[in-house]
Amino acid sequence: MKLQMKNYKVDDVQFSSETLYSDGVLSLDKDALIKEVMAGVEGIEIKLSIAKPGDKTRITHVMDSAKPVYKLNGPTFPGLVDASEKVGEGETLTLDGIAVVQTGSYPGVMEGIIDMHGEGSKYSYFSNTVNLVVEMNVIDEMSSETFAKLSKEIVLKTAKLVALAACDQEPTSVQTFEKNQNVDGLKKVGYVCYMESLGLFRNVYLYGKDTTDIRPKVVHPNEIIDGALVSGNFEIAAHKNPTYFHQTNPIITELCKRDGKELSFEGVILSTERGVLEIKESYAKEIALFAQEMNLDGVIISKEGGGHADADLMLCVKELQERGIDTVITLNEIGGPNGDLPPIVSATPEADAVISNGNNDELITFDSVETVLGGEMINGSIDAKTSFESSVGLVYCSTNQLGVNTMAIKEY
């Protein structure tokens, strides 16, 4: 399976009378874009804004983010925007340096902020991208299920139409994702991607279908980075894995980079985190059996969320290590403001190789801003324009557990 990513570098985004991409500048006809995205959509209004690195802007109530992509001769975000057909090969246009950020107020959506300047901007990947902020406002009553699906489609459609602007241009670079066949003598490595799929506002879509009830399954890494996996997780800001990081999954891209050189990247096992112990155990075993079938020497495991997810992760480590398969896990910590409390809620001695992406609970002071996008209040109690103290975990993707950031932790 060969996938070619045609990358277009975006240095700046501006609203204009026409939509086009030229020399790193993306111009967007706002009204036309809204009209096209919202065609046939009822009950929701959207507002588009641009937030650039350095702007004195804070984006609040962030639900999800997506990377603008457009699939040539194939479905973009299959099952949600286009037909639910397999992806992972062919050509895909993608814009670098820009994110489509979904925000708005809706009951049950948990807080998450992106600061474009000041102390808070050190912690989010999206403080360094130019963000096209899609603010949603529900005007007709609708069920939470409808909102979840509809809002998702709006954001993804926006991401598709924005990428389309670059369609007739030469890409800045082209990246090929294809399994290297020349892997003699290299250790076989797999990747287990646990997803927090527990129903409404806390789920992940695979080819447009809610994954809440799927059993562990093997997928090709190209499928994930080509838009098959979409986040529907509107919960804890630092714990969730957004669509953007499924599309650019840093573990997958790093394993692809080293495939055929330092290791042989054998594939991805997707699994959901469960709420019942017996099912957690049975899924962990199932994953280990897949790994054994694939003759893996090592497995990197990532999770989404905390609490329950820790138990799924530890059971999986135990099953794999007992079968002689090496594991490395990547997670974040909830060690309290001073970092002296237990950082996770479940542990197993077999988990001897852990990457920590930081402690969510450490306090930082956020600077005041001039502009707020998404909602005027944070957690219903803090005026979003002001300077305030809160935990680093309030920052969208600050301690992201896929290992996007360079945040780490040191024990004193």
Return the residues of window 283-312 that contact other proteins according to CB under 8 A.
Answer: 297-298, 300, 306-308
HSE of 283, CA atoms in CB hemisphere, 13 A? 28
List the Cα angle 390/310/202 in 5-degree steps: 70
> Which one among 64, 226, 235, 319 touches other proteins, defined by CB under 8 A?
235
C-alpha to C-alpha distance for 42 and 40, rounded to whole angstroms? 6
Closest CB 320 distance from other proteins, rounded Å: 12
Residue 208 or 298: the one with the smaller Cβ distance to other proteins is 298
Residue 43 or 342: the one with the smaller Cβ distance to other proteins is 342
- Under the binding rule (CB under 8 A), the answer on residue 362 touching other proteins is yes
Residue 75 or 232: the one with the smaller Cβ distance to other proteins is 232
Closest CB 67 distance from other proteins, rounded Å: 16
Residue carrying the six token digits 């209040």: 377
Residue 181, judged by CB atoms within 10 A of its CB (0-12, 13-18, 19+), counts as: exposed
Show contacts with other proteins in window 363-392 (CB under 8 A): 379, 391-392
Contact by Cβ (8 Å): 110, 356: no
C-alpha to C-alpha distance for 75 and 89, rounded to whole angstroms? 11
Closest CB 118 distance from other proteins, rounded Å: 16
**8-state DSSP, 395:** B
Residue 41 or 279: the one with the smaller Cβ distance to other proteins is 279
Cβ neighbours around 333 below 10 Å, total = 22
Residue 34 or 183: the one with the smaller Cβ distance to other proteins is 183
**8-state DSSP, 245:** H
Show contacts with other proteins in window 51-110 (CB under 8 A): 108, 110
Residue 165 or 309: the one with the smaller Cβ distance to other proteins is 309
> Which one among 49, 241, 247, 359 touches other proteins, defined by CB under 8 A?
359
> Which one among 251, 270, 320, 378 touches other proteins, defined by CB under 8 A?
251
C-alpha to C-alpha distance for 334 and 327, rounded to whole angstroms? 22
Residue 39 or 410: the one with the smaller Cβ distance to other proteins is 410
Write 14-17 long-range contacts (CB < 8 A, 24+): 14/50, 15/48, 15/50
Closest CB 269 distance from other proteins, rounded Å: 15
HSE of 214, CA atoms in CB hemisphere, 13 A? 22
> Which one among 24, 32, 341, 386 touches other proteins, defined by CB under 8 A?
341
Show contacts with other proteins in window 178-197 (CB under 8 A): 187, 189
**8-state DSSP, 170:** P
Residue 284 or 300: the one with the smaller Cβ distance to other proteins is 300
Show contacts with other proteins in window 119-138 (CB under 8 A): 122
DSSP states of 200-211 as a string? TTEEEEETTEE-
Spell out the residues 6+ positions from residue 254 whose beta carbon is closer than 8 angstroms to its own.
none
List the Cα angle 100/93/230 in 5-degree steps: 50
Closest CB 343 distance from other proteins, rounded Å: 6
Helix/strand/coil for 13: strand
- Under the binding rule (CB under 8 A), the answer on residue 357 touching other proteins is yes
C-alpha to C-alpha distance for 147 and 153, rounded to whole angstroms? 10
Closest CB 19 distance from other proteins, rounded Å: 33
Query: In this chain, which stretch among 38-46, 88-96, 279-287, 331-339 interacts with other proteins, using CB under 8 A?
Result: 331-339
- Under the binding rule (CB under 8 A), the answer on residue 142 touching other proteins is no
Contact by Cβ (8 Å): 20, 80: no
Closest CB 353 distance from other proteins, rounded Å: 5
